[in-house]
Amino acid sequence: MVKEKKPLKGKIPSRRKFFKTAAATGAAATAAVAMPNLALGGGHTTLKMQAAWPSGANIFFEMAGDYAKMVDQMSGGTLKIDLQPVGAVVKTSEIGQAVSSGVLDMGHWVTAYWYGKNPAASLFGTGPSYGMSSQEVMGWMEYGGGRALYEETLAKVGFDYVGFFHMPMPAQPFGWFKKNVTKVSDVKGMKYRTVGLATNVLTAMGMVVRQLPGGEIQPAMKTGLIDAAEFNNPTSDSQFGMQDVSKHYHLGSFHQSQEMFEIPINKKSYNNLSPAHQAILKNAAYAANTDNYFKALVRYSADLSKLMNEHKVNVYQTSDAILSEQLKGWDKVVGDFSGKDPFFKKIIDSQKAYAKRVMKYLLMNQPNYKLAYENEFGPIAKVKI
């Protein structure tokens, strides 16, 4: 790192000092060329981050920007993030390797996007629930032994980065269908889009699963390449224009009932930062965690209302019959992978132990919030929003 030098107080440097300073400056310039993404100067550092999301009207790119703003504000402008959209430097699937090698300093995506390198990646965001939501999975990450297992998984796939997480996503919808589906037989044989371990779970249910990037989902459904699809939430789904290809939207599903953003940071870039800047990158993720969740609840509910009232989309809760079959699918997938991979089983065992204790307390302690809601507004299915 290049440290700021104190200004000379009215003194004229000697010839020897002048050349000594010039040599030091040249060495610093050489170091900057060797690490092009880490822009240094005047006590300021800029890190290049590429997201897996397009710029413009995209709430995920906006949330990545929220994190970048928090880093800027918390550092007093001395640490900045140059946020780039999907494809600006590398393809989405290449973000992890690009961060590891130093082509990028940082990324913004989800662990399911490197599921192809090791299925265990999906357990840090899109794994089985065991009663946990994203909030509890993030609790397991930080206080239940999950972080050490995550770092072990990174090492197994050859990723050389430090990772932080933010934004505990609400359960993802089962998605968009050409009709209301209530029975398992209604979805068998359907060509369906999802990612991560959810592909295995829904395949076990008899669905024909295809993994497609977010931007390809709506066109694929429009042309009939797929019959049904999920992405993430009412805001993102409406931004993709899913309401133009389907009028049947099923909320709440166990195929991806918990997920969060991963922020990978190149280890060399991270280690070259001051302890204060390292702490800011970590704690800004915690701050964005809360802020993004609050924003999501407001925006997702408002956009669900628009889908229902302006676009005449029929919204349903996914049936218990389908949810139960999803859980059976998870049991099969977890059993198959655990039987083949002791490390996968090690992560699952850790999650189960955490969920068994924490969720017993949480589920027994939580009152029936639906009862309170319906006491005020009436049956939830009939409430107009």
Strands (E), 86-143: 106-108
Which structural domains are found in the chain, ordered by start? 25-169+259-297 (3.40.190.170), 172-256+315-340 (3.40.190.10)
Task: Please tell me whether residue 178 adopts helix, strand or coil conformation.
Answer: coil
Rounded to whole angstroms, the Cα distance separating 193 from 174 reads 10
Rounded to whole angstroms, the Cα distance separating 161 from 113 reads 16
State the pLDDT at residue 32. Answer: 39
Rounded to whole angstroms, the Cα distance separating 232 from 323 reads 17
3-state SS, one letter per residue, for 157-174: HCCCEEEEEEEEECCCCC
Rounded to whole angstroms, the Cα distance separating 174 from 215 reads 18
Task: Please tell me whether residue 103 adopts helix, strand or coil conformation.
Answer: coil
State the pLDDT at residue 196. Answer: 83
State the pLDDT at residue 148. Answer: 98
Under DSSP, the state recorded for 2 is P
State the pLDDT at residue 31. Answer: 39
State the pLDDT at residue 57. Answer: 86
Beta pairing class for 248-251 and 175-177: antiparallel
Under DSSP, the state recorded for 57 is S
Q: Which of 319, 31, 12 is nearest to 185 (CA)?
A: 319
Q: Which token pair is 120?
A: 């265990």
Q: Which token pair is 312?
A: 């005449």
State the pLDDT at residue 195. Answer: 83
State the pLDDT at residue 211. Answer: 82
Rounded to whole angstroms, the Cα distance separating 22 from 11 reads 17
State the pLDDT at residue 27. Answer: 41
Give 10-residue mean pLDDT values along the chain (385 residues): 36 38 40 44 84 93 98 98 97 96 98 93 94 96 97 97 97 94 94 89 92 84 91 92 94 94 98 97 97 97 97 96 96 96 98 98 96 95 89
Q: What is the pTM of this model?
A: 0.85
pLDDT tens digit sequence for 163-179? 999 999 999 999 999 99
CB 84 within 8 A of CB 48: yes
Rounded to whole angstroms, the Cα distance separating 319 from 157 reads 37
Q: Which token pair is 367?
A: 């009152």
State the pLDDT at residue 342. Answer: 97
pLDDT tens digit sequence for 43-101? 699 999 999 999 988 999 999 999 999 999 999 999 999 999 999 999 999 999 999 99
State the pLDDT at residue 37. Answer: 52
State the pLDDT at residue 176. Answer: 94
